[in-house]
Structure 1
Amino acid sequence: MKEIHPFALAISDQQLADLGQRLANARWAERETVDDWSQGTPLGALQDLCAYWRDGYDWRRCEARLNGLGQHVTEIDGLDIHFLHVRSPHEGAMPLIMTHGWPGSVIEFLDVIGPLTDPMAHGGRAEDAFHIVAPSLPGFGFSGKPSATGWGVVKIATAWTELMRRLGYAEWVAQGGDWGAGVTTAIGVQAPAGCRGIHVNMPVARPLPEDLAAPSEPELRALKAIQHYQDWDSGYSKQQATRPQSVGYGLVDSPVALAGWILEKMWAWTDNPGSPFEALSRDTILDNLMLYWLPATGASSARLYWESFAKFSEGEVAIPAGASQFPKEIIPAPRKWAERRYCNLVYWNDLPKGGHFAAWEQPELFVTELRDCFRLMR
C-alpha cells in the first residue's frame, strides 16, 4: 500500500516578496467602456483587490489554518495527491470525501469542516458527524500536475476511491460541486464497493428533446440560465477546453492576470447584489487565489477542461444520491432532469439563497443539506 505522508506549508519569504513585486510592477489595461461587469472584471475592482493583496493581505494566517487542519500527500497512479483529512471526535462518524471545482480549491470547505466533523459544538447532533477528506484535484492547489493526458473525471473518481481505501474507510459517502459534482457523479456511476451514496450541489443532467418541446416553469428557468451561460459566461471554458496552454502562461506569470480571470467568476457565480465581495470576503478570495498562484497551477488546472469538459454527463447513477439546488447555480438542472441521471434520487431540496460556491457562500445551509441528505444513507 502506498504511504500517506504529512504535508506542511512553508512558503518562503522570497516567494511572497516576488508576488508583491509583480503586483507593484503590473502594467494595467485601460478602464472598461461600461459601468458594470459586462466586459469582464472592472479595472477599479481589480486594482483595489490587488492593492490589498500587496499591502494588507496576510498569507501566513491562511497557511497556519491549513497546517492546523491536517494536510497530507499520497501518490496515486504516479501523481501526488494533496488532501485535508480531519477526523471527527465522535465514534461512528461517516467518512465523507468532498471535491471542489474550478476556480475553487479546498478553501471553499474551510468553514464547513468544523460543523461537519464536530456537530455538537455547532448546534448539531453527534449522530450527524463526518470524518472529512478534502483532496485537491490533480493540477490544482498542492496536488501534483499531470505530465501526461488521462487525468479526467473518471480517473479522478477512481483515484478518490483508492484514497478512501488507503485511509482505511470501508464505507463512505462523496460530495461535490462544479468539477467536484462531475467527479462525485462519476463515483456514483462507478458505484465502488463501500460507497453508500453521493450528494451534489450542481446536479449534472441534460434535457431531452421532449423537455425542450413542452418545458415546465422550472425547466424554462433552467433553460434561460443555461442560455445565459452559453451566451455570456462560457468563454473561459471554451478557452480552457481547447487551448489551456495558451491562457496558462499569463495565469502562471502574472498575479493580476490570474486575479482578473478568477475574480469575474466570483462576481458572476455567487449570489450577490452587485459585488463579489458582498458574497465572499477579500481575504477568502485571496486565500483561494494563493492556491493557484503559489503552486503555479494556472495551466495545469485549466487542462481539466481539455480532458473532460465534453464528458461531464456520461453514465447513470444507481446508488443513492441527493442534490441541493441553490438558486444562483450557473447550470441548473430541474429535478425532472436529475431523476433520469440519478436513478435512485433519495434527497432533493431547492434552497432560498446561495450560488455556485455553495459551501463557501452559505456554509450553514450547506451543512444542513449534507446532514439531511446523508442521514438517509447512514
Structure 2
Amino acid sequence: MKILLVGEYSRLHNTLKEGLITLGHEVTIIGDGDEFKNFPVDLSIRPKTFDLPFFSFLRKGFYKVFKTDLAIWEKGLRFYFHLSKLKGFDVVQLINEKPIKTTPRFERYLLKKLFQQNKSTFLLSCGIDIISVEFMLRKKFRYSQMDPYFENPKLKPEYQYILDYDNPQHRKTHNLVFDHIKGVIASDMDYKLPLEGHPKFLGLVPNPVNCSKLKYVPQQLQKEIVIFLGINRFTYHKKGIPLFEEALVIIQKKYKERVKIITAESLPYEEYIERYNEAHIILDQVYAYDQGYNALEAMAKGKVVFTGAEQEFLDEYRLKEDEVCINALPNAIKIAEKISMLIDNPEMLQPIGQAARLFIEREHDHKMIAKRYLEKWS
C-alpha cells in the first residue's frame, strides 16, 4: 500500500513508518518535525523564512500588532506547495484534527484538497483534540493536565493552545475532519477514555516503539542514584513539572550525596536522549493515565519511569501497580515518597527496568503495531 502520514508528535509516525516499511509498504511523512524536536520528515513544512533573523524580527512585530504568527501561515503555504505530491495514496492518516497547524480557515482549505485527492483518511487521537479537551473541561478524569489551570486561571497563556480547540473556528475544522475520516484511533488510555462510545472510534492501538534502536541496559547499582527531569517550558504545568521539582527539593535535602539530579530544558530529541542515558530514574509526566512516547522509549532502555500508570492502564494490560513504571500522582510528597522507596531499596531498580523492557517488547513492538494499524485501516 501507498500510505501518507500527516504530521508528527514525539516520533510516533516515524516509528510507525519503520514498521510499515518492514512489511513492504511505501510510506511518506509530511510535517514540521514536531517543531524544536526536529524529527525527520520526507516532505517538510517547517517554517524557514520566518526563523531567519530579519524575518523573525518582522514576525514578532506582526504578532504584537495583529496577534497572528506569520510562521503558521508559512507552514500552510509550504503544505500547499506540496499538494501535487499528496495524491493517490491508499491510506492517509492525520496525527491530529489540525495536523498542518496553520490558520483555521487555511487548514480547512488544505484538508479539503487532501481529502479530495486520496481514497481513505483516518485520524489519530494522540494529543490534544476537541473530544479530549471537552472531556477535561467537564472534569470527567479524576485529574488531568487542565488541573493547574483550574486552580490558577492566570496560567491561561500556557493553556491557550488547548483552549483554542474549544472555539467555533476549530469546531468547524473538527466537523470537517470527522465528516471525511473513516475512523479515529486512540494511541493510549488518555485518548481512549474520551472516545469510548463515539460512532467512529476504532479502538486503541498502542504507540509503536522500535526496540532494535533502543538498547536495553540493565540497571547497575552505584553509589549515586541518577534522576533525570526533562523540562519543556511550553508544557511546564501541563506535564506537572512543578510537582517533580518540588519532590526533587525534598529528595536533595534528604539524600544529598546519594543522588545526582540532571535537568535538561527544551532540547532537540537526539540531545535529550543523550542527556538521560546515564539516569536510573526518569521523571516524565504527572497528569496522565498512560505513558507518552518519551516514557515508552525510556522504559525500553530499562529505565524506571515516573509517568501515567492509572488503574485503567493496569486493567487494559493486566498489570500490577508500579510493575513496569511508577504511577506519578499529582502530589509532590507522594512522588518524593516513591523516589525515596527506590533510593532506599536500589535492588528494586533492575527488576522494574527489566519488566519495563519486556512490556514494551510485548505490547509496543513497531512491527506488531504496524500490523494492527493495517487491520484498522482495512
Same fold (TM over 0.5): no
Find the structure with the greater CA-based Rg: 2
User: Which gives a bigger RCO, structure 1 or 2 (Cα 8 Å, sep 6+)?
Assistant: 1
* TM value normalised by structure 1: 0.30
* TM value normalised by structure 2: 0.30
